[in-house]
A and B are shown apart, each in its own frame.
Chain A
Amino acid sequence: MSVRLRGTDSAIQIRWIPKYTTLERFLHWVHTATFIPLALTGFVLFAPFLESVAQGASGQHIRLIHRIAAVLFGGVPIIYTILQPRRMLMNLREFLSFSKYDLLWAKAAIPFYVLGRHHDMPPQPRFNTGERMTAVVMVLGTITFGITGLSMWFLKAAMPVFLFQLMVIIHDLMFIITFAMFMVHFYLAVIHPMMWQSLVSMRYGVVSESYAREHHAMWYYGEKRAKEMWEQRHAEGEH
């Protein structure tokens, strides 16, 4: 797919590479639109300084919103698995494959994202280390929220109190972890000046060729070629 910039006859041509299916983008937005209200309504019951919001009818509505959002949130992976099982498995497999390049990424990430130093950034597959970490945490989080949330919802009276208490603690702990991850993800995807294309890709499903080359070399060139290029660049850089 290529786009001709309007108003210019020649010059810039951008090649766009498809990254996400329509369903993936739609479900990702549903995920976003439910995670945020879930975090906010959950936080009301969690933080004592929001006591006045949690009281009486207002608190009752907040608990109801939390439940409705939770059902939609939990429905996302289920619908995805039913409609695009192969894509789901492919992504899951990619999320779970880590290598030594992820350690290099971790080292280079702060200079790269904070100071804009590109040189030490190792090649990354279709999802970079941070994205894969976020994805893994979100998958684990969804499973944990599902188990603990449904237990607290439906088994309040049936389960031993200690188990219920444990569910509350695990639910809250997972909230802290996923929320921290979400903030990093949100920052890099929406706010960070360098990452403007991530929002474009979540809207249109594509990234530009140059972006893919820069940020996802293993995906663009193939793993072998990307690694060779990295070794070469590194060898040159050290001399």
Chain B
Amino acid sequence: MATRLAMFIDTSKCMACRGCQVACKQWNDLPAYKTENRGSYENPPSLNHYTYTRIRFNEYDDPERFQWLFLKEGCMHCTDAACVDVCPTGALKHGPYGIVTYERDLCNGCGYCSQFCPFGVPHLNVPSVAAGTPDLLGVTGDEESTSALAGLTGEAKSAKCTFCQDRTTNGLKPACVKTCPAGALDWGDRDEMIAKADARVQTLKSELGYPQANVYGKDQLGGLGRIYVLKAPAEAYGLPEDPKYPVMSTVWQKFLQPVGQIAFGATIVGAITAFFVARRNVNMEEVE
């Protein structure tokens, strides 16, 4: 594979202007919709089918001071991507530059990706109160808006950040990176982004008074496509320190699938063979 590209995200420079959210919607042609004021600047309340990236606002009370931590959420483009493994259609794939690409036409809306992603990133376009996704049925401008019966028929499509696959595979930066006015985002060779993150963490630790600063994304799940500079431990941002590839995906893909396919074939072949053996051996004159 060609070079692996990655997104550099410096949370110490992010000012939560959410220009990235707007640029993302603009480039990917995603509709806006009304939300309720929940007493926070954070909006919408979670990633969803129409929001591929979002700034999460975390309040962190460390021993020294109170911090407001801003995390740019979105698909992590994992090396060990469970979504790619469980997708039965091939709509989700490992594409060029390590991007986990998504082809909407191929998706059949099964939703396995949304249930197996360790970060809970992919979302279906059906309303879900439990997942904090607002009722999106009233959204206009979306040709594929699902019908009122979607909950019964299962009609749906998944969606997630693709690192603007149509831009990045043509040598451009993702829309969010291009728009970021604070210089918190960058895009380029993954090793370079890691080096940049390491250097920034050093500065944060030694000069700016953030002893807990660290880099996130280097090794998690085989290496993420997002390299974060964090000012505080990952948990403070709501990120899992050590995200795990779902065990059930391994059981399913590595064990049940081969066993099931063998069983499917073996029973059919077995029945045919048994028929010919029985026909040869059974004396039909004795059969009642």
Chain A positions within 8 Å of B, measured between CB atoms, are: 43-49, 51, 54-60, 62-64, 67, 113-116, 118, 153-154, 156-158, 161-162, 164-166, 168-169, 172-173, 175-176, 179-180, 183-184, 186-187, 191-194, 196-197, 208, 210-211, 213-215
Contact = CB atoms under 8 A, between A and B. Distances in A.
A114 B286 contact: no
A197 B288 CA distance: 9
A113 B274 contact: yes
B88 A51 contact: yes
B153 A67 contact: yes
A63 B277 CA distance: 38
Given A56-B106, A183-B268, A184-B271, 9 more contacts: A46-B88, A46-B260, A47-B261, A56-B89, A56-B108, A60-B108, A60-B154, A175-B260, A179-B263
A58 B281 CA distance: 45
10 contacts: A54-B108, A59-B89, A60-B109, A63-B109, A63-B110, A158-B130, A161-B120, A193-B287, A194-B278, A196-B287
Given A115-B281, A116-B281, A208-B288, A169 B252 contact: yes
B130 A157 contact: yes
Interface in B118-166: 120, 128-131, 133, 151-155
Contacts of A162: 246, 248
Contacts of B33: none
Interface SS, B side: helix
Given A114-B277, A116-B286, A213-B288, A169 B256 contact: yes
Nearest to A192: B278
Given A116-B282, A193-B278, A64 B154 contact: yes
B24 to A, nearest CB: 23
B40 interface: no
Contacts of A114: 274, 277-278, 281
Contact of B252 (A54, A172, A215): A172
B110 A55 contact: no
Which residue among A56, A193, A197, A213 has the maximum number of chain B CB atoms within 10 Å of its CB?
A56
Contact of A187 (B131, B271, B288): B271
B263 A116 contact: no
B89 A55 contact: yes
B154 A173 contact: no
Nearest to A63: B154
Interface residues of B, number: 54
A113 B286 CA distance: 13
Nearest to B133: A157
B115 A164 contact: yes
Which residue among B277, B282, B284, B288 has the maximum number of chain A CB atoms within 10 Å of its CB?
B288
Which residue among B109, B154, B277 has the maximum number of chain A CB atoms within 10 Å of its CB?
B154
Interface SS, A side: helix
Given A114-B281, A158-B130, A208-B288, A64 B115 contact: no
Contact of B259 (A59, A113, A158, A176): A176
Given A116-B281, A157-B131, A48 B88 contact: yes
A59 B88 contact: yes
B65 interface: no
Contact of A45 (B88, B115, B128, B155): B88
Contact of B116 (A58, A161, A179): A161
B223 interface: no
A169 to B, nearest CB: 5
Given A47-B261, A48-B257, A156-B111, A165 B154 contact: no
Given A45-B110, A116-B281, A168-B248, A183 B267 contact: yes
A143 B183 CA distance: 56
A55 B91 contact: yes
B113 to A, nearest CB: 11
Contact of B257 (A46, A180, A196): A46
A48 B105 CA distance: 18
Which residue among A153, A158, A161 has the maximum number of chain B CB atoms within 10 Å of its CB?
A161
B66 interface: no
A73 to B, nearest CB: 16
Nearest to B277: A114
A176 B260 contact: yes
B60 interface: no
Given A60-B155, A63-B110, A165-B248, A194 B274 contact: no
Contacts of B288: 197, 208, 210-211, 213-215
